A and B are shown apart, each in its own frame.
Chain A
C-alpha cells in the first residue's frame, strides 16, 4: 500500500487541483460569505465553519450571564394617597399606598360593611299586635336595639343585655320575644312576594322555647356527668353492642342453617343494618325493650341519657308510613303481590324481592318431578305455559291455578295408580292363597284400570277442571297463601318440622314409585 497521492487527498477534500490560480477559489468562497454572517459568531469562526452554522446558535444569543427579569421594564410607581371610607359617617381621611396609575374609586373594603336588617315596628303596630304581659314596649325597643347593635349574635346580646330595672332574661326569653315579634310582623304586614317565600321566612323565625330549654338541660346534664358515670355509660354501651353483635351472628347462623337444611327463610326479625354511633343508643334500647324482656335491666340505668326526645316520634312516623293500608293502595293503584309481611318485622335482605316485570316470572310447574307430565297435560289442552299473551295479574293467577290443578291431578292420578297397584297385588295374593287353599277359581278380572285408563282419567279430570276451574283455583291459591303465612309466622322448631314433612312424603312417594 503506497501512500495516497496528493491528487487523492485533493479529491477527497474536494479541493481544486494544483496549478489553478488561487484567485479562482475566490468566487465560491465569496459566495459562501455572501450568506449573512449571523450575530454572535466571530468572523474567523464563521470563515471556518461556513454557512453550516448549528441552528442552535441562531435561536439564542450567547450571553455571559442572564440578567434576572425583574417584572419587565415597566416601573410601577406607588404613591401615598389619602382615602375616605364610605362606610364612615365622618370625614376621616386615612392614608395608604396605592399604585399611582390605579384610578381613585370607592374604598374596596367598604363593601364588607353589611348591616343585617332588623325589623322595626311603629307604636301603632306595637299596640295592635305586639302587646305582651311580660314585656314593656321600652324593653322590647331595648331588645331590638341590642339585636341590631350586635347583629343577631345571640350569645353576645345575652351577655350585654342589661335593661335597667328589668327582670332577669335568659337567652331563650330574648330569642322567643324577638322571634315572636318578627313572626307577628311578617304575618300581619302586606307581603309583596308569594306565599311560599312568606312561609319560608316565617319558618326562619320559628323558635320553640320549651324545646330549646329542654335541649340545654340535656346538654348540661350531659356535661355534668361524673367520670364514673361516663365510664359506666361507656361500659353499658359496649355491652349493648356486644349483645347485639352476638344476636346478629346467632340469627345469621340460624338462617343459614335453615336455608341449607330446609330451604326456607327463617322469617326471624333481622336487626337493622347499623345504628349511627352512640346517639342511636336510645332507639336501640327501645328496640330491645320491645323485642323481649331479656334486656330490661339495661334500659333502667339512670345514667343513660339520650338526646332522643324527638326520636320516638320519628320512629312512630316511620312505622306508620310503612304500614300499608288497603284504602291507600286502592287510591294509588298499588297491588300487593304477596300477603304483606307482618308490620313489626323489618324486611330482611332475603325476603325482599326487587321490582320485576310480571312476564319474566310466569309460573312454572312446581314440583320438578311432575313437571314433564304437567307440561304434557297443558300441551294436550293446547296451552303454551311458557308464554302468556297478556300477563296481567289475573291471567298469571289463573295460569298458576291451572298449573296447580294439573299437578294436583297428576299427583292424584299417581295415588290412584298406586292404590290400584296395591289392590291388584293384594288381589293376586288373595287369589294365590285361594288357589292354594281351594280349587282355583277363574281368574278374576284384572285391574279395573288398564293402560288406557291413564289417558281417560286425565281426560275426565281435565274436563272437570275446565268447568270449575276458577273455583278450584281460588281454593288452591287461598290454601297456599294461608299455608305460607302460617309458616312464616311459626317459630323455628315448628316450621322446620312442618317444612320437613312434605319433603319426607315426597321422598317416600318417589321411593315407592
Chain B
C-alpha cells in the first residue's frame, strides 16, 4: 500500500528515543511502528472516533481533537518531530497549521498528494472537470480535500514563509522515484514528503 510506504519513509527520518506528535494519525500505524522499531514516545491526534478506537487497541496514545482548533493543547518545542502525513489538504488553514507545527516541534514532516502530476492536469485540461484519481478518489462536492496544492505551490509557500527545507522526497504512487520524477518532479511526482525546520 502506497500510504504505508509513505510512512516507512517518514519513519526512516526519525531518530531513536525521540518524541513524536503525529497529526491525523489514523489507526496509529506509524506511531506503533516507531515505538517498536525506535523506542520513540508517541502521541497521535485524529478527529475520527473510529480511528481513535483502532489506535487505542494498538496501545498508542491518541487524542480525539480537531486539527483546526486542537493544537493549542501543545506547548512550544515539546516534541522532536511533528508529522502531518497526507492530511495537509483536509485542514481549514494549512498555513496556520504549519506554523503551529513548527512552534511545537523541532522538526516537522509534511507529506501530500501532488496536484501538479500530469494525470490530474490532463483531466482538467481535456475533460474540463475536477480531477478524480486513485490518490484523490473524491468528486468535487464530497471531497474532504479542500486545500490541494502542487509541489511548486508548496515550495513557493516555504520560500514565502522563510521555511527551511532540509530534505524532500518525491515519488510515484508505488513509492518509487525515476529519472522523469527527478527531472520534472511537479509533473511526474505523485506524493511529496518534506522535512522542514
Decide if A and B are genuine partners: no
Residues of B within 8 A of A (CB): none
